[in-house]
Amino acid sequence: MSQVTTIDDQSFEEVRTAPGPVLLDFYADWCGPCRALAPALERFADSHPDVDVRKINVDENPRIAQEFGVRGIPTLVVLENGRETGRRIGGAGEAEIEKLVEHA
């Protein structure tokens, strides 16, 4: 069962104040690379229950995307205690996602 949760502008505040690591996936439904990233992101979430993995649709929630300066998708952003500690733009496999979170 996947640990990935989709959030919106209104529910983002709970993520901003989360105490542990949070991995944000900025995506769009029409984006091919975003769809290709999804299975690796789900596997990562399933094998790392200590990381809060959230998806944000940039078309439906532009405020958060603008706040984080997202210019291309997919974009992965790691937050620790509400502060950005890592970022990756473009596709990634599970190993790259793991490196991003571990080195953030």
- Please identify which of the residues 22, 23, 24, 34 carries the catalytic annotation: 34
Q: In this structure, are residues 58 and 28 in contact, taking their beta carbons and an 8 Å threshold? A: yes
Residue 82 a catalytic site member? no
pLDDT at residue 2 tops 80: no
The CA-to-CA distance between both ends of the chain, in Å, stands at 26
- Of the residues 4, 7, 31, 38, only one is catalytic, namely 31
Tell me, yes or no, whether 101 lies in a domain.
no
pLDDT at residue 79, rounded to an integer? 93
Counting residues of the chain whose pLDDT is more than 70, the rounded percentage is 97
**Can you say whether the dihedral through the CA atoms of 79, 35, 6, 93 is positive or negative?**
negative
Q: Would residue 48 show up in a list of annotated catalytic residues for this protein?
A: no
Query: Per the domain annotation, does 37 fall within a domain?
Result: yes
Q: Does residue 92 lie within any of the structural domains?
A: no
Q: What is the domain range of residue 16?
A: 4-87
Cβ within 8 Å of residue 20, ≥6 positions away: 50, 51, 52, 80
Tokens 């080195």, residue?
103
Examine residue 80 and state whether it is found in any structural domain, yes or no.
Answer: yes
CATH of the domain at 69: 3.40.30.10
**pLDDT per residue over 7-18, tens digit each?**
888 888 888 888
State how many domains the chain has: 1
Summarised one tens digit per residue, pLDDT across range 63-84 is 999 999 999 999 999 999 889 9
Q: What's the whole-number mean pLDDT along residues 44-62?
A: 94
Within-domain flag for 19:
yes
**What is the pLDDT at residue 1?**
43
Mean pLDDT computed over 78-101? 93
